[in-house]
Amino acid sequence: MSLFIKLLKFLGAYKLYEKVLERSVRSGEIPEHVALILDGNRRWALGRGLPPWDGHRVGAEKIDELLEWCRELGIRVITLYVLSTENFKRPSRELEEIFRLLKEKALEYLSDRRIHRNKVRVKIIGRKNLLPRDVREALEKLEKATEGYRNLYVNIAVAYGGRAEIVDATRKIAEDILRGRLRVEDIDEETMEKYLYTSELPKDEPDLIIRTSGEERISNFLLWQSAYSELVFLDVYWPEFRKIDLMRAIRTYQRRERRMGA
Is 39 marked active-site? yes
- DSSP letter at 16? H
Residue 40 CB: number of other CB atoms within 10 A? 24
On the 0-12 / 13-18 / 19+ scale of CB atoms within 10 A, 148 is: exposed
Cβ atoms of 21 and 242 within 8 Å: the answer is: no
Among 113, 136, 111, residue whose Cα is nearest residue 126? 136
Is 118 an active-site residue?
no
H or E element, residue 231: strand 230-233
Tell me which of 39, 54, 204, 245 is the catalytic residue.
Answer: 39
Catalytic-role residue among 87, 112, 118, 176: 87
Rounded distance, CA 8 to CA 14, Å? Answer: 5
3-state secondary structure of 21: helix
Nearest to 172 by CA among 199, 154, 133: 199
Burial class (CB in 10 A: 0-12, 13-18, 19+), 95: middle
* Residues involved in catalysis: 39, 87
